[in-house]
Structure 1
Amino acid sequence: MTPSIHPASNPAPAADWHADAQAAAQRIAAGAPGFLRETPLWKLSPATFGLALAPGVELWLKLEHLQVGGSFKARGMMNRLLAHDIPASGVVVASGGNAGIATAAAARALGVRCEVFLPGVSPEAKRAKLRALGAQVTVVGEMYAEALAACLARQRDSGALLTHAYDQPEVVAGAGTLGIEIEAQGGLPDTVLVSVGGGGLIGGLAGWFGERSRVVALEPERAPTLYRAREAGEPVDVDVSGVAADSLGARRIGDIAWQVTQEHVRDALLLDDDAIRAAQVWLWKEMKLGVEAAAALPLAALQTGAYVPRAGDKVCLIVCGANVDPATLQ
């Protein structure tokens, strides 16, 4: 088990992400009524997962993989599009897959063009879903950073609205609406376990919950953007590979997520690929939840003991995405 990395002692002043999440929820409700789904929140005993935890612990599964487009990303992408006038050239995004799918779904709902740049690591299941949504798909390089460079060049040429996978204020605020929904459905959790890639999701959730809940960052050992940033004292590039690279494939933590997590996230934990894969397969075989590897990190943290809840804690596991080929879950 890898030890936790804690934030620096002097984080930058935080924006009012709590208010921004509320504004995002209002914008989406007004501008795209019926677009987002209210995803289920399951409250379960640790025994359901074969876990022997402290007395009184309750596990909440937030099934955000059932969201439009198969991930939480739909919240931020729709908020981004609604916050701007969209040119005739439409919108453009670089993505490991989920942000692209969410942007394409939002663009289709609003009747605008969408172009998505994907890295070679993106699975065919995500590419097929993008094409079905009417997006123009371009595969560039092997990892996300290469797709992003090509996307930025296209945006400069076309003038399309750029939607970033995780590092724009509207995208992070949109992710924060997930926190609003969790609190409305179940009350305030004591702990929220969140997978981290570029940091849009943890930025939005930590901004919403603030100091009211303990938000814990979970990363693969082979894609440790926040963990390495904390070691270095600033965001740095990392090598990215492993079972979750298609979803958690950013090489550097986003600037917004860095700011928010320095303010509100104490612990950043690493998990190995075997543990992540085991949790992913368990969710499929035991609960018939077909989720991608990135969505399995919260359960892996509990199964391995990387995170140990305190007695009586209400622990929310964010099941963040489902864009996976079911044939890979055997």
Structure 2
Amino acid sequence: MIEDSKQAEFALPPDLLRRLQALQPLLWVNPGRRLQPDPISPADVDAAAERLKRAGPLLARRIPELEHPEGLIESPLLPADKLRDALDGSGRWLLKADHQLPLAGSVKARGGFHEVLEFAERTARQLGWDGQSFADLGSPAWRKKFGQYRLVVGSTGNLGISVGLLSRALGFRAEVHMSNDASEWKKQLLRERGVEVIEHDGDYASAVTAGLAIAEADQHSHFVDDEHSASLFTGYAVAGRRLAAQLERQHIEVSPEQPLIVYLPCGVGGAPGGIAYGLKLIFGDRVHCWFAEPVHSPSVLVQLASGSTAPLSVYDIGLDNKTLADGLAVGQASLLATACMQDRLAGVFTVEDAALREYLTLAGKLLGEKLEPSATAGFAGPGWLADSTVGQQWCAAHKVDPASATHVLWSTGGGLVPDSVYQRWLAD
């Protein structure tokens, strides 16, 4: 139970609190309270998009897996009608396959790559680079110069992979701080690619705190802060215009009568928050974004439902933050992300681990896609809107017919999962 002082400070509705503590899957509709100004502006997203475009030649030079000649980091938008039929859904279903993003194999490539590139650009300018061609920064001479600098990050895994692997590709040293219970295969992958992995007792937050302290003590280190980084957030937000272009190429209309509904697995909130922010910039009221969180780790739901700008953790309401979806196992949400989602996010639904296992199997059998459990959390979303009383009421209030909508399930990771680990998940 929440301590008396916390109960007074955070006014979670009693019925919601009971259901969260009982680990009941639920759908929560965001009341859209605006408590503070946006910490991010559209101009910030424009700058991130421009930087990623300029850095394309460098990425093409340093990432062998990248097939796009202009160095575009992007994932395909795949049909998911077979999954829709298996889950008794309606409308058009699509899978945004971020598990196929090159090098990193997860949604974290978007923000993580952007922050590494921004740091590389800033560092190079300090060392005398004229800024004419990003591709120059892939030369042996620049790799040697970058070797004096280190990027540090605290991560449950995928952000560490994103930051660590691109840092090493550009010549930077990289250090990833992880909790002891983070996936062993992710730690091993990082070490095999030359990234230093430091393990900590405690959870994700403990690893972040330790990494930050180390980076602050070294003037040649840069800390990538998943909770507060505007660079990460704006890198994720570029996904909005990328998805819009893909929908246009597939001749898919997005309108009030045929809205876009996007379901985003959520950990600390930065990646889904950035994507949702970017989508709202492009589509406005024609898009509705929902976050998916594990029943044991609903950090963004708890923060937004509290109606407070002060931090509230899932531990404060008695939850243990233990879930099969290790990428979503975050106790306290990013306040930057929740500030941007105040009146942009439609709401949050929670998912049990047993459902993630079912969705993992369906994704492999029906779509031929190898995902990790956290990447499947959004699969529950269309069912909540169509079949629950709360979901039907929300649809009626917003004049949304799920049968006329385009439903995008955002697949956030799994591209680098070893087959032995994936087969074990299926067997379990």
Structure 2 length-normalised TM: 0.71
1:61 aligns with 2:90: no
Question: Relative to structure 1, is the Cα distance of residues 18 and 132 closer, same or farther in structure 2, using a 3 angstrom cutoff?
Answer: farther
Partner of 1:200: 270
Q: Residue type matched to 1:224 in 2?
A: P
From 172, 175, 183, the equivalent of 2:233 is 172
> By how many angstroms is 1:51 displaced?
3.2
Contact 2:241/2:278 (CA < 8 Å) preserved in 1? yes
Aligned residues: 327
> By how many angstroms is 1:48 displaced?
5.3
**2:424, 2:155 → 1: CA distance?**
21
**1:97, 1:123 → 2: CA distance?**
7
Q: Secondary structure at the match of 1:262?
A: coil
**1:92, 1:108 → 2: CA distance?**
12
Contact 1:104/1:130 (CA < 8 Å) preserved in 2? yes
> By how many angstroms is 1:16 displaced?
5.1
Gap runs ≥5 in structure 2: 1-24, 61-70, 124-145, 249-253, 316-320, 393-400
Partner of 2:288: 214
1:237 aligns with 2:329: no
Partner of 2:73: 37
Q: Counterparts in 2 of 1:1-330, with a 5 A limit?
A: 1-15=25-39, 17-33=41-57, 34=60, 36-45=72-81, 49-54=85-90, 57-68=91-102, 69-84=104-119, 85-86=122-123, 88-159=148-219, 160-187=221-248, 188=254, 190-210=260-280, 211-212=284-285, 213-234=287-308, 235-239=311-315, 240-244=321-325, 246-302=326-382, 305=387, 310-322=402-414, 323-324=416-417, 325-330=421-426
Question: Relative to structure 1, is the Cα distance of residues 171 and 7 closer, same or farther in structure 2, using a 3 angstrom cutoff?
Answer: farther
Q: Residue type matched to 2:323 in 1?
A: G
Question: Relative to structure 1, is the Cα distance of residues 44 and 248 closer, same or farther in structure 2, using a 3 angstrom cutoff?
Answer: closer
Q: Secondary structure at the match of 1:182?
A: helix
Q: Secondary structure at the match of 1:115?
A: strand
**2:224, 2:199 → 1: CA distance?**
17
Q: Residue type matched to 2:359 in 1?
A: A
Superposed CA deviations along residues 210-257 of structure 1, whole A, max 9, x for unmatched, are 23410111111111001111232233111311111x201222110111
Q: Secondary structure at the match of 2:217?
A: helix
**1:303, 1:284 → 2: CA distance?**
20
Q: CA RMSD in A?
A: 2.2
Q: Pick the structure with more helix per residue.
A: 2
**1:48, 1:238 → 2: CA distance?**
32
**1:18, 1:193 → 2: CA distance?**
22
Question: Relative to structure 1, is the Cα distance of residues 72 and 3 closer, same or farther in structure 2, using a 3 angstrom cutoff?
Answer: closer
Task: Give every structure 1 segment of 4 or more consecutive aligned residues whose post-TM-superposition deviation is greater than 6 Å.
Answer: 306-309
> By how many angstroms is 1:30 displaced?
1.1
**1:247, 1:137 → 2: CA distance?**
17
**1:202, 1:141 → 2: CA distance?**
27
Structure 1 length-normalised TM: 0.91
> By how many angstroms is 1:289 displaced?
1.6
**1:238, 1:124 → 2: CA distance?**
25
Gap runs ≥5 in structure 1: none
Q: Secondary structure at the match of 1:37?
A: coil
Q: Residue type matched to 1:58 in 2?
A: R
Question: Relative to structure 1, is the Cα distance of residues 203 and 47 closer, same or farther in structure 2, using a 3 angstrom cutoff?
Answer: closer
